[in-house]
């Protein structure tokens, strides 16, 4: 996993919001932590993939995923979590595992009291490339450019997770933190 | 929610295993806690439904479900958890939420170090009624008879969760507790 951050971030460079993006999956769950503000270049703190063993039992895989996501949240203290929305039209052979992984990711954010937002792939593509039908290469190219990276994040799941975090920052999701809603539902603020 | 148990069970009547059955759902999640041993009548401790508000945000719903399942586990101290397996052929409009709820239920068991087993609806029907194509009424009738209840558990989601717990007991799932497997995957023992 690519990591730019100090072991325990205490101060943040510039004004902005720190977002954990999650591209949910059971075998490969993309994660990216990005800092920035709307319309400006962002800074990559973490980009990578949480893998769980396809040969292991489901409960152990979900437990491992939960533990690694909780550790990322504890270490990097994001202000918000952005998770890709799963549709039933997804790849039929993996959609149940993907949905279960997304539930674990959303819960991981909610348990830490963070606002959690879900985005469709089209919303992420449009936010990052300006084009809702962009392909994976175009997303990776734009993510590399926006973050001013020397090389493209790999694998594609990591780039997708980073794109989710950028999408959340650029769409102004950070506002939720600055002007929190009142009442119970405001705390975890999922847009559906 | 129907509850037969003392506020905090300390001793158990008879020899047997205590199982939490979960029929996962986001709006209505059936739960049943049953105690017993293979081939004998069982004792119902808890039967009911955990509801989350369809108008609330997804993260809050998953957080509420997680909290209520964790509270059930903490209060009734089951030895194992049995969860209905979700298939992508499920009702398309609700399958993603059902899969997310199942992930939360499996994680709730695994986080408490309990063995978690998933069963198909056919396996549960066959175990409880002797007939894999049994309908909901037949399951409710058999559950009522096996538990010697004065009236049938309602709604159907509660009866299904209770049937899952009975299925796990009668199929000898309790063995996993008596002869734990070694190594990491043994702890949460999901049969897939």
Q: Residue B111's pLDDT band (boundaries 50, 70, 90)?
A: very high
Q: Is the pLDDT of residue A103 over 90?
A: yes
Q: Which residues pair with A34 in a beta bridge?
A: A19, A44
Give the pLDDT of residue B91: 73
Domain carrying residue B159: 15-187
Closest CA to A144 of A132, A156, A130: A156
Window 8-37 of B: residues touching A by CB (8 A cutoff) are none
Q: Which residues of B touch A93 (CB under 8 A)?
A: 88
Give the pLDDT of residue B181: 40
Q: Is residue B90 part of a domain?
A: yes
- Mean residue pLDDT of chain A comes to 85
ipTM: 0.84
Q: With an 8 Å Cβ cutoff, is B113 touching chain A?
A: no
- Residue to substitute from B61, B62, B189, interface A, most A β-carbons within 10 A: B62
Q: With an 8 Å Cβ cutoff, is A54 touching chain B?
A: no
Tens digits of per-residue pLDDT, B40-74? Answer: 889 999 999 999 999 999 999 999 999 999 999 99
Q: Is residue A19 part of a domain?
A: yes
Q: Is residue A186 part of a domain?
A: no
**A157 annotated as belonging to a binding site for a ligand:** yes
Give the pLDDT of residue A93: 79
Q: Closest approach of chain B CAs to the CA of A184, in angstroms?
A: 8
Q: Which residues of B touch A63 (CB under 8 A)?
A: 107, 110-111, 188
Give the pLDDT of residue A45: 97
Size of chain A, expressed as the number of residues it contains: 192
Binding-site annotation: residue ranges of B for Mg(2+): 23, 84, 157
Backbone angles phi, psi at B47, to 5 degrees: -145, 130
Residue with tokens 């397996």: B85
Average pLDDT over every residue of A2-25: 68
Enumerate long-range contacts of A150-155, CB under 8 Å, 24 or more apart: A153/A2, A153/A32, A153/A44, A153/A47, A155/A28, A155/A30, A155/A49
CATH of the domain at A124: 3.30.420.10
Q: Is residue B7 part of a domain?
A: no
Give the pLDDT of residue A89: 75
Q: Distance between CA atoms of A81 and A173, rounded to whole angstroms?
A: 10
Q: Is residue A60 part of a domain?
A: yes
Q: Is the pLDDT of residue A192 over 60?
A: no
Q: Distance between CA atoms of B85 and A65, rounded to whole angstroms?
A: 19
| B185/A100 touch (CB, cutoff 8 Å), yes or no | no
Give the pLDDT of residue A112: 97
Active site residue A57: no
Start-to-end CA distance of chain B, whole Å, equals 30
Q: Which residues of A touch B69 (CB under 8 A)?
A: none
Q: Is the pLDDT of residue A11 over 60?
A: no
Cβ proximity of B98 and B90 under 8 Å: yes
Q: Is the pLDDT of residue A10 over 80?
A: no
Give the pLDDT of residue B57: 96
Q: Is the pLDDT of residue B177 over 70?
A: no
Q: Is residue B9 part of a domain?
A: no
Q: Is residue A155 part of a domain?
A: yes
Q: Residue A131's pLDDT band (boundaries 50, 70, 90)?
A: confident
User: How many angstroms separate the Cα of A132 from the Cα of each of A35, A143, A173?
Assistant: 23, 15, 19
Q: Is the pLDDT of residue B173 over 90?
A: no
Average pLDDT over every residue of B79-95: 88
Q: Is residue B6 part of a domain?
A: no
Catalytic residue selected from A35, A79, A84, A123: A84
Domain count, chain A: 1
Q: Residue B186's pLDDT band (boundaries 50, 70, 90)?
A: very low
Tens digits of per-residue pLDDT, A51-79? Answer: 999 999 999 999 999 999 999 999 999 99
| One-letter-per-residue 3-state SS of B132-143 | CCCCHHHHHHHH
Give the pLDDT of residue B182: 39
Window 76-95 of A: residues touching B by CB (8 A cutoff) are 86-88, 92-93, 95
Closest in A63, A88, A111 to B110, CB measured: A63
């Amino acid at each position: 996993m690519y990591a730019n951050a100090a072991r325990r971030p205490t101060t943040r460079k510039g004004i902005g919001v720190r977002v954990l993006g999650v591209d949910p999956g059971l075998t490969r769950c993309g994660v990216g932590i990005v800092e920035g503000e709307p319309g400006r270049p962002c800074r990559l703190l973490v980009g990578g993939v949480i893998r769980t063993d396809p040969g292991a039992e489901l409960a152990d895989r979900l437990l491992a995923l939960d533990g690694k996501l909780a550790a990322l949240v504890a270490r990097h203290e994001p202000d918000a979590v952005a998770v890709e929305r799963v549709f039933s039209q997804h790849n039929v052979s993996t959609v149940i595992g993907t949905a279960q992984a997304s539930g674990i990711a959303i819960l991981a954010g909610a348990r830490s009291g963070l606002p959690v937002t879900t985005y469709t792939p089209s919303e992420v593509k449009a936010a990052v490339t300006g084009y809702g039908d962009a392909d994976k290469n175009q997303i990776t190219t734009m993510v590399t450019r926006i973050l001013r990276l020397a090389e493209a994040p790999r694998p594609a799941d990591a780039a997708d997770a980073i794109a989710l975090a950028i999408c959340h920052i650029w769409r102004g999701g950070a506002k939720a933190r600055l002007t929190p809603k009142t009442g119970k539902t405001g705390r975890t603020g999922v847009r559906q």
